[in-house]
Amino acid sequence: MPGLPMNRHAVSMLCLCSAWLACCGAAAATEPASPHKPPESKTVDVVDEYHGQKVADPYRWLEKTDDSDVETWLDAQTAYTRAYLDRFADRQTIKERLEKLYAAETSSPPSVYRDRYFFNRRKGSQNHAVLFVRDGDYKAEPRVVIDPNTFSADGTIALDWTSISPDGSLIAYGKSAGGDERSTLYIRNVATGEQLSEEIPQTRYSSIAWLPDNKSFYYTRYPIVGSVPTGDENYFRKVYYHRIGEDWKNDRLVVGELAQKEEFVSPGANSTNEWMFLTRSVDWSKNDLYFRPLASDEPFRPIAVGLDALTSADLVYGKLFILTNHGASRYRLMIADPEKPTTADWRELIPQQKGVIESFRVIDRRIIINVLEDAHTRIFIHDLEGKRIGEIELPTLGSAGGISGEWDDTEIFFGFESFAYPPANFRYDLKTGQLEKIEQVDIGVNVADYEASQQWVTSKDGTRVPMFVVHRKGVERSGRNPTLLYGYGGFDISITPQFRKGLFVWLDRGGVYASACLRGGGEFGADWHLAGRLEKKQNVFDDFIAAAETLISLKYTDRDHLAIYGGSNGGLLVGACMVQRPDLYRAVICAVPLLDMLRYHQFEIARLWIPEYGSADDPKQFEWLRAYSPYHNVKPGTSYPATLIMTGDSDSRVHPLHAWKMAARLQAATSSDRPILMRMDRKAGHGAGKPLSKIVDAESDQWVFLMNELGVFDQTTETGKPATTTD
């Protein structure tokens, strides 16, 4: 998802058709719509000139969120969408099934802070997971530390992030309302539950580095609203020092000189909590890294500066362990003397692997590396000389993460899941080599009834792209199975096997689910990411189109039974693929999307994404953005697939205007009778911290939409009765 340019190992976007120019002056009022006819949307005569090219923007008026005409339009769109989706009686059945699936208790793997084990657990109909702690032993009786379900009656105030002090005695955390992710920082005493006096605003995604005294910390904060020009409160992230109990307004500025306002700075502590690392970045594909003693004001010492690479580090046993893709696209682990920390004195400890080294931990004089190999996880154990001495055997091809453990202990914890393997938490004893499954989700489904396979897709330029395919055992490749294809393809984010509870609603009705690992992601290292960004973004769309064509050629489905889905950067993906190949899919779900790629960087935090997409302010970059920008490539008279565009009114990452403008343009342009729906969630944002009740409602609408469009429902009725065929 478009998020923040964090070091991925440290802790998250053709000339205009003359027909459009001709219609820009028309001003039709927004009118009510029947379930079969969308509201009409007025157009305005707005034409921008980019580097000598004129580009019309007939729905520019929808960018004015405080305009009463926009509210009227949104109400009409909501009424149309609800009239369409609510007519299916099976929606209630689907919602009840989802509620039952999501009611299964889930827990995160423990995070260890000396003799305390912290974890999140959600059960039943709770909107949010509750933060618990176990004292002294990972099997001890847990007690509540923070219950976000008490923040608000409707669940729309969320716990955004947490940071625990080195001894586990205090926890700093962020809260935000309505999904806007603009956190306020609070502190709680873990033993007593006492809420301390701290209440620090503008701490969105704050990075915290606690000092060894457990009474003070470095943290990041954005400018206070009103102290900078409107919009700039989303930038100028700086590092401050805070001592508990003191007025935050007097906090000392530690890092305030920025290369540019979009620079992303983050402090962090090493495993022993003696050293502070500082990451500085203006690009998703590279960062500078510095360090100094935590309890010192001495100047930061450089580790990696000016490299065209991502770098992170830890300092344990008197040595710097440095993970970098400098000179190694899939990363390698280097080692250096803290007195000679720069690249000239690095020594390779663990070379580049077959897979991508995603993270590492130094625990009990061993190095644990998490490797992504062909888009699934392997965990290897090395000694301090870099020699591989073991591997933790995982249950199946899947995804492991959340590796935690104290540097001077012998136990590690991690979570694991796959498409047909419910999330489980494991404990591994480095002394005995024993692996123990602590707990596993039980959703009341016999997972042995389902299977997942990995297929390989050949993209337009010959690149091989992996794709996972999931379905119930016994499903035949009839060539007409209702199939949903998911993709993302951006920001160095890897798409790996995940257990999706709601997916069983689809699989149990004969549906097939596919997930493609596209260029632009991190599945195969830096080169894979770079091959899908900036001027090479079209590669991502080509990969996804090839995945869709492969599902058809392998006889899983056909064009009348294939849907595509993506959110955020993935919303851009499916938007671009829809306008480039509208003939290839029957239905599209486009969630919290980027769609106007000529103006995207002017809203919310989107200037942070210019290194990934480029900017229309640059003549060369304008050309490639204009070539694929979904909003600008909608063509009147085209038969577009059924489309459900989803957004939230509080989204502070991707402005909902993208969804609004695209919906209006598609509704006016399409020549088919398939619906173009715009679903806006009130008091919701990009997705982080979304309460369970809203998740279930949204998923209910998604599955109803897909089942109707792909023939799972009987198309001759509006009762949602399951069909006997997939005709």
Cα torsion angle, 145, 150, 155, 159, sign: negative
Q: What gap in Å lies between CA 363 and CA 382, rounded to an integer? A: 10
Helices 90-102 & 692-709, crossing angle to 10 degrees?
140
Backbone torsions φ then ψ of 160, nearest 5 degrees:
-85, -40
500 close to 703: Cβ distance less than 8 angstroms: no
489 close to 691: Cβ distance less than 8 angstroms: no
Strands of 435-440's sheet in order across:
399-404, 411-418, 421-429, 435-440
Q: Are strands 587-591 and 642-648 parallel, antiparallel or unpaired?
A: parallel
* Longest distance between any two alpha carbons in the chain, whole Å: 75
Closest C-alpha among 596, 660, 656, 658 to residue 630: 596
Cα–Cα–Cα angle for 90, 127, 426, rounded to 5 degrees? 105
Backbone torsions φ then ψ of 372, nearest 5 degrees:
-100, 110
Q: What gap in Å lies between CA 163 and CA 571, rounded to an integer? A: 31
206 close to 161: Cβ distance less than 8 angstroms: yes
Count CA atoms closer than 13 A to 294's CA, side-chain side.
24
Q: What gap in Å lies between CA 519 and CA 537, rounded to an integer? A: 9
Strands of 286-293's sheet in order across:
264-269, 275-283, 286-293, 301-304
Count CA atoms closer than 13 A to 70's CA, side-chain side.
16
Q: Are strands 562-567 and 587-591 parallel, antiparallel or unpaired?
A: parallel
Q: Where are the alpha helices (DSSP H) in 176-257?
A: none
Q: What gap in Å lies between CA 692 and CA 575, rounded to an integer? A: 27
Residue type, 265: V
First to last CA, the chain: 35
Catalytic site residue from 9, 601, 632, 686 = 686
The alpha carbon of residue 572 and the mean position of all alpha carbons in its chain are separated, in whole angstroms, by 13
Q: Which two structure tokens, joined as six digits, stand for 419?
A: 């498409």
388 close to 382: Cβ distance less than 8 angstroms: yes
Mark whether 382 is an active-site residue. no
Q: What gap in Å lies between CA 17 and CA 634, rounded to an integer? A: 9
Backbone torsions φ then ψ of 444, nearest 5 degrees:
75, 25
Catalytic site residue from 271, 568, 615, 629 = 568
Q: Are strands 562-567 and 483-486 parallel, antiparallel or unpaired?
A: parallel
Closest C-alpha among 577, 567, 582 to residue 642: 582
Report which DSSP code applies to 536: G
Mark whether 568 is an active-site residue. yes
Q: Which residues are the active-site residues?
A: 568, 686
